[in-house]
Amino acid sequence: MTAITPTTPKATPAQVFSTFWAMVRKELTVLSRYPVDFIASFFQLFIIVAIFTLAGLTFSETGQATEGTSGVVVYGFIMFMFVSDTLWTIGFNVRHEQVQGTLEQLYLSPASKFASLIARVTHLLIWTSLLSLMSALIMKAMLGSLPVYNLGRALFFLVFILLGTFGIGFAFAALTLRVKETANSLANLFQFAFMILGACFFPFGALPEWMQSISRLLPPAHGVDLFRSTLMNYPPGFPELASVQTETTVVIVFGLVMPVLGYWLFRRAEHHAREKGSLGEF
């Protein structure tokens, strides 16, 4: 009698894509069931923009923002929205599946885990792109002027920045599997740290020198700096953290290395959780 050795089925690229698309469709369907959320998030964006615009104008002698200031604030805000979505959504979704009790079931299916992770943030990127466009238009109307140069190059950088933050998103999801409920508080703290060290609402020059030194160690901060400097056509003093060449290198390496590293960390955390039998625990 011969023993049957079960082999792990390997998903073909078509199957991986099919899983990815099914997950994106599922997320979009869930999202479409909450129309109030759509409307609320749009108005929320409008109010946040108004608040920071009015706050900025209390420091203006003319009651109008300069092109430089509006570029820094608007593009910093857009980067903040993209980076926040990409960073936390994967981890939050993993946590949500844990709480709902469906995470363990997902791991029992032969569907690609990678595609399932990526799909959790894809639908949000579509929505965030729309919101970013709207916020740029609103802020332009409120602030008077907004510099738009080198759009193609800026979008090229944006792709690499997002790839890199996907990687951090995987790493954060790994952390979520380990620390469970504490991940919420950690996400808030990281987000606040990014708001300040990433200088999303002001130039890096406003930070004390020691904080700028920390910012220089953070690739997403270089991403914010390079993205907005490019759209502002590199005015004097921009980019602030390093030269264009250095920041371009940092952003590209970040975009290529971080997803691999983040996914590796996620697989390790997942393996650890499966061994301990804590995947479904929350």
As a whole number of angstroms, the distance between CA 246 and CA 41 comes to 36
Are residues 113 and 198 in contact, defined by beta-carbon separation less than 8 angstroms?
no
- Report the nearest approach of other proteins to the CB of residue 43 (Å): 6
Q: How does DSSP classify residue 205? A: G
As a whole number of angstroms, the distance between CA 66 and CA 58 comes to 13
Site stretch for other proteins (CB under 8 A), options 199-207, 223-231, 244-252, 258-266: 199-207
As a whole number of angstroms, the distance between CA 254 and CA 250 comes to 6
Single residue of 22, 134, 148, 195 touching other proteins by CB under 8 A? 195
Contact mark string toward other proteins, 35..74, x via CB under 8 A:
-xx--xx-xx--xx-xxx-xxxxxxxx---xx--x--xx-
**Is residue 12 involved in binding other proteins (CB under 8 A)?**
no
Single residue of 151, 155, 159, 189 touching other proteins by CB under 8 A? 189
Could you check whether the bond before residue 239 is cis, i.e. omega within 30 degrees of 0? yes
- Report the nearest approach of other proteins to the CB of residue 18 (Å): 31
> What DSSP string describes 210-264?
HHHHHHHT-HHHHHHHHHHHHHTT--TT-SSSS-HHHHHHHHHHHHHHHHHHHHH
Site stretch for other proteins (CB under 8 A), options 15-23, 151-159, 182-190, 251-259: 182-190
**Is residue 17 involved in binding other proteins (CB under 8 A)?**
no
Binding site residues, other proteins, CB under 8 A = 34, 36-37, 40-41, 43-44, 47-48, 50-52, 54-61, 65-66, 69, 72-73, 181-182, 184-186, 188-189, 192, 195-196, 199, 201-203, 205-207
